[in-house]
């Protein structure tokens, strides 16, 4: 993994009224990584992100950014954060460049050279002179990222940044965020409710459900940990009932006859080729006509996510 701890969250708890929205959340994000904050609607992603971006207070716990406590060194902590939490607002009748200059004027030490640099980092060089009113949603989102990193924050926080973007726009934004992390050393924290998106964008992922952090791990470990250790096959035969009787020595639950009259066979993934060949041979020698054998696709990541997070992942029960 990458460099220093940029965002440190320890025992974060948040109430709205007497409802506990976040319960004892602790995790770190590092310089040079894209950290994904993954959870279903209402899990507490935006609330956590707003607190980390200094837009909401915390009730219990500690947060520090680049080693500066949000409780005792708020301004220093905030100096190292850039973010898009709600849709970035721009003046539509001004160009992208004019918008950035206006914003830069409110920030200390942002030079014209830095403006050009961020424009290049988000790939808007050719369109930065156009009026923002003519930008696509994806371009406005990239201008938002440019604005958020103008003051060279070490942490960039984005709440569901790909919402509403088309696949091409999602890929562009994803590539920019990965490049900012991996090439520029920025720590990027991005939330999403889509596991598939996290898989393509993030180095590590924290899963939050009903205000509680379930796990924090590298994305490939999360995928491996939740990937199936069994393979599933569908067998179409002329006489499924007799086939089932022929294979009645298989372990309980390994062979089922589904509603379409197709045999559903589950085998341990290790050695499944040999076991399947043996089953096929027994069927054929038993006089069964074997029409097709097909492998059922592995569970999609979305299913794994639903399994991990359960249903209705909102508030703490
Ligand atoms: N200002 C508020 N006052 C009271 N309750 C709130 C407030 N903001 C959020 N909540 C509640 O806190 C919980 C977490 O909301 P949050 O917006 O953080 O979830 P989320 O993970 O971002 O969900 P989504 O995927 O829908 O954006 C929800 O139950 C929500 O209704
Ligand atoms: Mg949200």
pLDDT per residue as tens digits for the range 195-218:
878 888 999 999 998 899 988 989
Provide the percentage of residues in the chain whose pLDDT is more than 90. Answer: 70
Q: Which residues pair with 236 in a beta bridge?
A: 292
Closest ligand by atom to 42 CA: 1
> If you measure from the C-alpha of residue 46 to the centroid of ligand 1, how many angstroms do you get, rounded to a whole number?
7
Residues making up the chain, counted from first to last: 317
Ligand 1 pocket member 314 (CB < 6 A): yes
> If you measure from the C-alpha of residue 42 to the centroid of ligand 2, how many angstroms do you get, rounded to a whole number?
7
Question: Kindly report the CA angle at 82 between 75 and 9, in degrees rounded to 5?
Answer: 70
Contact indicator for 80, 66 with CB cutoff of 8 Å = yes
Ligand 1 pocket member 47 (CB < 6 A): yes
Looking at CATH, the fold of the domain delimited by 230-295 is given as Alpha-Beta Plaits (3.30.70)
> If you measure from the C-alpha of residue 190 to the centroid of ligand 2, how many angstroms do you get, rounded to a whole number?
11
Closest ligand by atom to 47 CA: 1
Distance CA 100, CA 83 (A): 15
Question: In Å, what is the CA distance from 229 to each residue of 24, 266, 268, 299, 301?
Answer: 32, 10, 6, 11, 14
Ligand 1 pocket member 21 (CB < 6 A): yes
Q: Which residue has the tokens 């958020």?
A: 148
> If you measure from the C-alpha of residue 241 to the centroid of ligand 1, how many angstroms do you get, rounded to a whole number?
52
Q: What confidence tier does 180 reach under pLDDT thresholds 50, 70, 90?
A: very high
Q: Which residue has the higher pLDDT, 236 or 84?
A: 236
- Name the segment(s) of the chain with CATH classification 3.30.70: 230-295
Ligand 1 pocket member 41 (CB < 6 A): yes
Ligand 1 pocket member 42 (CB < 6 A): yes
Contact indicator for 196, 256 with CB cutoff of 8 Å = no
Q: What confidence tier does 89 reach under pLDDT thresholds 50, 70, 90?
A: confident
Averaged pLDDT for residues 248-268: 89
Ligand 1 atom closest to the CA of 208, numbered from 1: 21
Looking at CATH, the fold of the domain delimited by 5-226 is given as Rossmann fold (3.40.50)
Ligand 1 pocket member 16 (CB < 6 A): yes
- Name the segment(s) of the chain with CATH classification 3.40.50.300: 5-226
> If you measure from the C-alpha of residue 21 to the centroid of ligand 1, how many angstroms do you get, rounded to a whole number?
8
Distance CA 52, CA 156 (A): 10
- pLDDT of 227 > 90? The answer is no
Averaged pLDDT for residues 282-297: 92
Averaged pLDDT for residues 252-260: 87
């Amino acid at each position: 993994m990458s460099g220093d701890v940029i965002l440190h969250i320890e025992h974060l708890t948040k109430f709205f009224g007497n409802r506990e929205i976040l319960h004892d959340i602790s995790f770190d994000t590092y310089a040079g990584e894209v950290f994904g904050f993954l959870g279903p609607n209402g899990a507490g992603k935006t609330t956590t992100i707003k607190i980390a971006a200094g837009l909401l207070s915390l009730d219990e716990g500690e947060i520090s950014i680049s080693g500066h406590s949000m409780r005792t060194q708020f301004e220093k902590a905030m100096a190292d954060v850039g973010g898009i939490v709600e849709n970035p607002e721009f003046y539509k009748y001004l160009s992208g460049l004019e918008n950035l200059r206006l914003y830069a004027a409110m920030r200390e030490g942002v030079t014209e050279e830095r403006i050009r640099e961020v424009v290049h980092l988000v790939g808007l060089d050719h369109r930065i002179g156009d009026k923002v009113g003519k930008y696509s949603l994806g371009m406005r989102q990239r201008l938002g990222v440019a604005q958020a990193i103008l003051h060279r924050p070490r942490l960039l926080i984005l709440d569901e940044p790909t919402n509403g973007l088309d696949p091409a726009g999602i890929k562009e934004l994803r590539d920019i965020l990965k490049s900012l992390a991996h090439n520029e050393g920025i720590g990027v924290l991005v939330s999403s409710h889509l596991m598939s998106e996290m898989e393509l964008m993030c180095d590590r992922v924290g899963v939050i459900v009903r205000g509680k952090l379930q796990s924090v791990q590298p994305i490939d470990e999360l995928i491996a940990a939740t990937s199936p250790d069994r393979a599933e096959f569908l067998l179409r035969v002329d006489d499924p009932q007799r086939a089932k009787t022929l294979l009645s020595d298989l372990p309980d639950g390994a062979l089922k006859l589904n509603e379409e009259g197709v045999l559903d066979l589950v085998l341990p993934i290790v050695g499944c080729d040999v076991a399947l060949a043996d089953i096929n041979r027994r069927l054929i020698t038993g006089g069964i006509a074997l029409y097709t054998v097909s492998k059922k696709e592995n569970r999609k990541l979305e299913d794994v996510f639903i399994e991990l997070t359960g249903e209705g992942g909102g508030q703490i029960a």
